[in-house]
Amino acid sequence: MSDYRINTKCVQGGYTPGNGEPRQIPIVQSTTFKYATSEDMGKLFDLEASGYFYTRLQNPTNDMVAAKIRDMEGGTAAMLTSSGQAANFYAVFNIANCGDHVVASSTIYGGTYNLFHVTMRKMGIDFTFVSPDCTEGELNAAFRPNTKAVFGETIANPALTVLDIEKFAKAAHDHGVPLIIDNTFATPVNCRPFEWGCDIVTHSTTKYMDGHGAGVGGCIVDSGRFDWMAHKEKFPGLCTPDDSYHGITYAEKFGQSGAFITKATAQLMRDFGSIQSPQNAFLLNLGLESLHVRMPRHCENALAVAKFLKNHPKISFVTYPGLEGDKYYELAQKYMPNGTCGVVSFGFRGGRAAAETFMRHLKLAAIETHVADARTCTLHPASATHRQMNDEELAAAGITPDLVRFSCGIEDAADLIADIEQALAQV
Ligand SMILES: *Cc1c(COP(=O)(O)O)cnc(C)c1O
């Protein structure tokens, strides 16, 4: 499947039925798996043979869907997780321990920021947040001897900043650590970060990949390109024996292509168990089958909405990386020439009150915390997700009281614009 183009991988990747086997991927709704002898099972526990024994760690349905996403991203190994939060936690915690440090972009998704800044700090892992627009000098200055990874988002949710992947990859590699990118908003249809030097990709599959608001999920993909053994002293978890697996050294036994995901499965999934249910994996796969058809429509609709708003007298600003003149337009053209995402944000000359009036009068666009769905959804952060903040705190978070986040679905653009137009008329 890896020789096919992305559109074909979306539809047929990850699973090729044999003679007389089901055309659709089977949902293996089983917690456990039967073996003929204790020796057979023992080999699985020693990671001497590959196979399934308990769905807290691995399930065949999940692995088929993970293999599809792996092929779409152009990686060597992948695993599904129960959520995007779990994917980002595992991706970082797999290589950073208590006493370690990570450099991260400051505009990352609020949930990830909280995970890093509050929860993982309690685990003894420190983070330095740098602006995605920082100079190479500023970026290099953020590294410490105990830095283990660099983290960013291709297109940040909801800030809509675009990461200069090559700049971040170079800094990471100059310091002997991998670059991890959350590619949720772009999806591999619009950007494949591995092609630009990124080492590990994560996803909240809850968004465009599922696409239908049906199941929460996440995914981690390894490019197989990071040479852990060349930086042995930095990554003891991968490069020295694991006592909980009879002294296996992941980077030796599974090589560059398999070490990262095998360790994340064998240790983190075993101990934390944040696995996606096989049912949800099946639904995710249905979403993936049409991702390449939906993404261009999301982008087309968002661009039409952004262009309409840009010239509207009641609108004070429009942020959309696919819109000519946007601060990130050039970077977006470089990394995502076929389109960015469906999310647009904008503000009102009439301030917070105008935004509230606008939201009240929308008919087609639904008010939801969700984004990246087939159905258009929208949020006024100042009165929802960020309502506990005053105007000063909002400003520090890069959100103005009048900002509306508008996630364009795959409906007809003319209907979306008509809905916006009638709501604007009430402002
Ligand atoms: C939603 C989101 C997450 C968190 O994913 P969940 O599936 O909600 O846990 C992480 N990163 C980005 C960019 C997101 O949009």
Ligand 1 near 112 CB (within 6 A): yes
Q: Predicted confidence band at 253 (pLDDT cuts at 50, 70, 90)? A: very high
Of 92, 289, 118, 262, whose CA–CA distance to 179 is shortest?
A: 92
Query: How many A from CA of 90 to the centre of ligand 1?
Result: 14
Query: How many A from CA of 281 to the centre of ligand 1?
Result: 16
Count of CB atoms situated within 10 Å of the CB of 354 = 20
Using the atom order of ligand 1, give the atom closest to the CA of residue 85.
9
Strand arrangement of the beta sheet that strand 404-407 belongs to: 315-319, 343-348, 404-407, 377-379, 366-367
- pLDDT (mean) for 341-369: 97
Query: What per-residue confidence (pLDDT) applies to 30?
Result: 98
Query: How many A from CA of 84 to the centre of ligand 1?
Result: 5
| pLDDT above 70 as % of the chain | 99
- Extended beta strands in 71-217, E state: 77-81, 101-105, 126-130, 147-153, 179-182, 200-204
Q: Predicted confidence band at 330 (pLDDT cuts at 50, 70, 90)? A: very high
Ligand 1 near 107 CB (within 6 A): no
Query: What are the domain boundaries of the chain?
Result: 6-286, 294-424
Ligand 1 near 83 CB (within 6 A): yes
**Helices vs strands, H then E, count in the chain:** 19, 12
Query: What per-residue confidence (pLDDT) applies to 287?
Result: 98
Calpha distance 260→251 (Å, rounded): 8
List Cβ neighbours of 181 (8 Å cut-off, separation of 6 or more): 151, 152, 153, 154, 163, 165, 193, 198, 200, 201, 202
Per-residue pLDDT tens digits for 100-154: 999 999 999 989 999 999 999 999 999 999 999 999 999 999 999 999 999 999 9
Ligand 1 near 84 CB (within 6 A): yes
Q: In the CATH scheme, what is the code of domain 6-286?
A: 3.40.640.10
Query: How many A from CA of 45 to the centre of ligand 1?
Result: 32
Query: What per-residue confidence (pLDDT) applies to 73?
Result: 98
Q: Predicted confidence band at 240 (pLDDT cuts at 50, 70, 90)? A: very high
Calpha distance 2→8 (Å, rounded): 10
Per-residue pLDDT tens digits for 368-415: 999 999 999 999 998 888 888 788 877 777 789 999 999 999 999 999
Per-residue pLDDT tens digits for 271-315: 999 999 999 999 999 999 999 999 999 999 999 999 999 999 999
Query: What per-residue confidence (pLDDT) applies to 195?
Result: 98
Count of CB atoms situated within 10 Å of the CB of 130 = 20
Ligand 1 near 182 CB (within 6 A): yes
Query: What per-residue confidence (pLDDT) applies to 389?
Result: 79
Query: What per-residue confidence (pLDDT) applies to 394?
Result: 78
Using the atom order of ligand 1, give the atom closest to the CA of residue 88.
10
Query: How many A from CA of 16 to the centre of ligand 1?
Result: 30
Q: In the CATH scheme, what is the code of domain 294-424?
A: 3.90.1150.10
- pLDDT (mean) for 165-191: 98
Question: How do strand 343-348 and strand 404-407 relate by DSSP bridges?
Answer: antiparallel
pTM to 2 decimals?
A: 0.97
Query: What per-residue confidence (pLDDT) applies to 182?
Result: 98
Query: How many A from CA of 409 to the centre of ligand 1?
Result: 18
Query: How many A from CA of 104 to the centre of ligand 1?
Result: 16
Ligand 1 near 199 CB (within 6 A): no
Q: Dihedrals φ, ψ of 156, to 5°?
A: -75, 140
Q: Is the pLDDT of residue 201 over 90?
A: yes
Ligand 1 near 274 CB (within 6 A): no
Query: What per-residue confidence (pLDDT) applies to 234?
Result: 98
For atom 7 of ligand 1, which residue has the closest CA?
Answer: 84
- pLDDT (mean) for 152-178: 97
For atom 2 of ligand 1, which residue has the closest CA?
Answer: 204
For atom 4 of ligand 1, which residue has the closest CA?
Answer: 84
Query: What per-residue confidence (pLDDT) applies to 390?
Result: 84
Mutation choice for ligand 1 from 207, 283, 340, CB with most ligand atoms inside 8 A = 207
Using the atom order of ligand 1, give the atom closest to the CA of residue 108.
13
Instruction: Using CA atoms of 346, 350, 351, 355 in order, give the dihedral in degrees to the nearest 10.
Output: -60
Per-residue pLDDT tens digits for 16-63: 999 999 999 999 999 999 999 999 998 888 888 889 999 999 999 999
Query: What per-residue confidence (pLDDT) applies to 249?
Result: 96
Query: What per-residue confidence (pLDDT) applies to 226?
Result: 98
Calpha distance 260→77 (Å, rounded): 8
> Mean pLDDT for the chain?
96
